Amino acid sequence: MKHIADFKKHFALLLEAGFVAVNQADEDAALKLFKAASLLDPTSTLPEVGVGYLHLHKLEVKQACKAFENVLKKDPKNDMARAFLGLTMTFTADRVEEGEKILKETHKASGDPQIRTLTESSLKFVEKFVKKSGNKGKSLPGK
C-alpha cells in the first residue's frame, strides 16, 4: 500500500473535485473529498472553505458563516473565505450591511482576479435581489 505522502500531489485535484461535487449537489461525495484533501494537507484551510461552500449552497447560513469565520481565525488573509463570508452574511436580514462591507473591502484588497469577480458578482446580486424593496427586513429561506 502506498504511503500517504505519495498522494500529496493529488491535494488540489481532490479539493477541486469537492467543489464540483458541491455544484452537482452531491453532498456525500463533497464531504468525502474535502476530508481526503484535509488528510493530505492538515494545515490547509481550503477543505474547510469547501465545507462552508457546501453549507452556503444548502442555504445553511449559520453553519456557512461559522465555517468561514473559523477559516479566517486560522488564516486571516484568506480572501476566498472572506468573500464567501460576506456573501453569506447578506442572506441574513440583520447582517446585510456587514456582509456588503466585507465584500467591498475584499474586492478592494484582493489582487486575485477571481476573488474580485466573485465579490463584484456578489455585490450585484445583493443589490438586485437582496436589497430590492420587497425583500428588506426578510431573510432568505433556509436555516
Q: pTM of the full predicted structure? A: 0.87
State the cell numbers at 107. 474586492
DSSP states along 39-96: HH-TT-SHHHHHHHHHHHHTT-HHHHHHHHHHHHHH-TT-HHHHHHHHHHHTTSGGGH
Q: What is the mean pLDDT of residues 95-117?
A: 97
Instruction: Please state, in angstroms and as integers, the Cα–Cα distance from residue 25 to each residue in 48, 135, 143, following that order.
Output: 17, 26, 17
Tell which wins on pLDDT, 23 or 136. 23
Percentage, residues of the chain above pLDDT 70 = 91
**What is the pLDDT, as a whole number, of residue 139?**
52
What span, in angstroms and rounded, lies between the C-alpha atoms of 55 and 51?
6
Q: What is the mean pLDDT of residues 5-17?
A: 90
Residue type present at position 32: K
What span, in angstroms and rounded, lies between the C-alpha atoms of 99 and 85?
7
Q: Is 90 exposed, middle or buried (0-12, 13-18, 19+ CB in 10 A)?
A: buried
**What is the pLDDT, as a whole number, of residue 143?**
43
* In the predicted structure, residue 140 carries a pLDDT above the cut 60: no
What span, in angstroms and rounded, lies between the C-alpha atoms of 38 and 140?
31
What span, in angstroms and rounded, lies between the C-alpha atoms of 126 and 119?
10
State the cell numbers at 135. 425583500
pLDDT in tens, 28-78: 999 999 999 999 999 999 999 999 999 999 999 999 999 999 999 999 999
* In the predicted structure, residue 142 carries a pLDDT above the cut 60: no
pLDDT in tens, 72-100: 999 999 999 999 999 999 999 999 999 99
